[in-house]
Structure 1
Amino acid sequence: MSHGRGTRELVVLGTAGQAPTRTRNHNGYLLRWDGASVLFDPGEGIQRQMLHAGISSPRIERICVTHRHNDHCLGVPGVLNRMAQDAPGRAVTLHGPADAARHLRDLAVVAQAHVAVTVDPVPTVDAFVPVADVAGSALTARALDHRVPAVGYRLGEPDGSSFSPGALAAAGIRGADVGRLQREGELHGVRLADVSTPRPGQVFAFVMDTRDCPAVAELVRDADLAVLECTYAHRDLRLAHDRGHLTARQAGLTAARAGVRTLVLTHFSQRYDAAELGEEARAAIAELGGRTSVHVASDLDVVPVPARARA
């Protein structure tokens, strides 16, 4: 059945591509999910961005890195030091592709922080692999196509159901009998399915540096909130492919075809106005008649995970 859910939102800490700009920090994205906090791809300067965003470092349980390029992980030492200052002895797990495991361990050593760090290598295979349980939702990953081994992440809540107050009243089920029906599945000839409606689980997806490939669509399939890099405009498609990145058009088309509800665009090359990339993605979605909404991310944005309507 449906249980009370806490805050589910994405805090954008940085949105620049390889090089930061005057208005865009290196990468960094914090997902708040029912009391759990997961930090994705913390680039340089993220410790300071966390202060601007009012993020409490002791709440971070795990750090998920997509690949070993430094603009996606050089902020790890600073975050660990901040955690050591705020909550000495606090444990944190670093997830990343197996190729990046040594690099992540070295970053933890450089930090010299009094934090219990576990590095958990993620296999880079063309299938979903389990990573962790996050507040009852399954965090998984699968390989992408970049210049070095890279993975994308998907967090999926189990499907559930919610009681219909009207159906309960019509069936004469009230008080303690509601809980009994939930536990037993049937009560006085009334089945659980007779007085409840399905509720699809919410899905969050996170895809950074990658060429366009089938794994991107699999990661963001039916996601309520999907973060996709769009380093280049489509007029620079060849450059995007050569450097292992998506264009804004590719991001928009993939999101529309995959049924993404809200697409967060980020990881912008400084050669573009990000608004242009947003319009390119929206135009691609419109071509397909898609309903995906597009959020062009700026540093310190807070983007809620849209609520799921009952099926």
Structure 2
Amino acid sequence: MRELVVLGTASQAPTRTRNHNGYLLRWDDQGFLFDPGEGTQRQMLRAGVAVSAVTRICLTHFHGDHCLGLPGVVQRLSLDGVAHPVVAHYPASGREYFARLRHATPFREVADLREEPVAGDGVLASGPAGVLEARRLDHRVEAFGYRFTEPDGRRMLPERLAAHGIAGPDVGRLQRAGELVVDGRVVGLDEVSVPRRGQRFAFVMDTRLCDAVFALADGVDMLVIESTFLAEDEALARDYGHLTARQAASVAARCGVRQLVLTHFSQRYPDPSRFAAEAAAVFDGEIVVAQDLSRVPLPSRRS
């Protein structure tokens, strides 16, 4: 299962229909919880997502709408007896804030929460599932965006496997070794498969346009990006360290993004369709205007 569960889409002030930020990326057996704002624990309950689904917590920065839900999530990990380790990434300059949030009230901490602060651009974690990296954004406080990249692989072609008489456990042996002897003939992996591009995801919150935004968004299948303002208020966006919907869409167009997910909307705009219309003027790919408690599947793999 690879999908984005949207827990909240408001910016500084929540509204009757939009909770503070919160996004859970479900990627096979992993769960990346991004920017748990106030009310995230309850939003997870409403979305039907258990806290045990979380394997990493990624904070972009320490403004309240992106982190005030952390105490509830941290305490729920222990309350529910989550057995697996949960890694927390956040700007290293905010260690003091994270410590305050983590221990906001007394509780019996039994969960294994491992802090791995982000000090600069680079890879945070890597493994068979993919590589998680961070890049510094341009906001009024230190902020980082995140990107997860699955390794490229190969897609097996059933008709070619059948033509060579390869089935069952032999398929796995061929994938691991790169070749297999069948009836005295060596069959190479490239004879029965084609390259398969790994899926890519990027998460970009509060920032002005900067090189890091484009680096994070480059070629991703899904870009979750703030669009706090509309173009008519671009000056405000610049002053407060944010993007407009048009700017977010221009990033997607320039970077070859397949699916653009707009979120983090200012309460000054009651009509969310305006964000979609503004983005569509510069980006002809798939546009999603995020709504609380919605689920957005990652696009299917590129052929």
TM bin (shorter chain): over 0.9
What amino acid is the match of 1:95? Answer: H
**Aligned partners of 2:114 and 2:201: how far apart in 1?**
24
- Counterpart residue number, 1:34: 28
Identify the residue that residue 80 of structure 2 maps to in structure 1: 86
- Give the residue type in structure 1 aligned to 2:281: A
Write out aligned runs for 1:35-114 (5 A).
35-87=29-81, 91-113=85-107, 114=109
Give deviations 1:112-155, integer Å, cap 9, x for gaps. 34133322111234xxx111247722111111100111100001
Residue 223 of structure 1 pairs with residue 216 of structure 2: no
Q: Is the 8 A contact 1:67 1:148 kept in 2?
A: yes
Q: 1:85 to 1:176 in 2, by over 3 A?
A: closer
In structure 2, what residue type is equivalent to 1:296? V
1:122 aligns to 2:118 (yes or no): yes
Q: Is 1:243 matched with 2:236?
A: no
The aligned residue for residue 274 of structure 1 is: 272
Shift of 1:88: 6.0
Gaps of 5+ in 1: 1-6
- Is 2:200 the partner of 1:180? no
CA distance in 2, matches of 1:248, 1:103: 30
Structure 2: distance between partners of 1:202 and 1:88: 28
Instruction: Choose the corresponding residue for 1:283, options 268, 281, 297.
Output: 281
C-alpha separation in 2, matches of 1:135 and 1:184 = 17
- The TM-score normalised by the length of structure 1 is 0.91
Identify the match of residue 307 of structure 1 among 293, 300, 303: 300
Aligned equivalent of 1:293? 286
Q: Which residue is equivalent to 2:143?
A: 150
Whichever residue aligns with residue 23 of structure 1, its letter is T
Seen in structure 2, the aligned counterparts of structure 1 residues 166 and 14 have a Cα distance that, compared at 3 Å, is same
2:60 maps to a residue whose letter is: T
- Report what 1:4 is aligned to: none
Change (3 A) 1:36 1:175: closer
What is the CA–CA distance in structure 2 between the aligned matches of 1:68 and 1:301, rounded to whole Å?
A: 25
Specify whether residues 267 and 176 from structure 1 end up closer, same or farther in structure 2 by C-alpha distance, changes over 3 A only.
Answer: closer
Task: Show CA shifts across 1:180-230 (max 9, x none).
Answer: 322322232321111101110001110000001121111011111110000
1:133 and 1:257 mapped to 2: Cα distance? Answer: 27
Equivalent residues of 1:78, 1:111 under 8 A apart: no
Q: Contact 1:27/1:267 (CA < 8 Å) preserved in 2?
A: yes
The 8 Å contact of residues 156 and 203 in structure 1, kept in 2 or not, is answered as yes
3-state SS of the aligned residue for 1:121? coil
Partner of 1:141: 134
Q: Which SS does the other structure have where 1:284 is aligned?
A: coil
- The one-letter code sitting in structure 2 at the alignment partner of 1:229 is E
* Letter in structure 1 aligned against 2:113: V
Which amino acid in structure 2 is aligned with residue 281 of structure 1? A
Post-superposition offset of 1:26:
0.2
Q: Deviations over 1:45-92 (max 9, x none)?
A: 111111101111122112100011111001000111222221167642
What is the alpha-carbon root mean square deviation over aligned residues? 1.6
Percent of pairs with identical residues: 54
157, 163, 168: which one pairs with 1:164? 157
Give unpaired runs (5+ residues) of structure 2.
none
Cα distance per residue 1:149-179 (max 9 Å; x no partner): 1100001100000111122223333444333
Letter in 2 for 1:221: D
The 3 A distance-change label for structure 1 pair 90 and 181 is: closer
TM-score between both structures, scaled by the size of structure 2: 0.93
Distance 2:30 2:193 in 1: 28
Deviates most, 115-124 or 154-163: 115-124
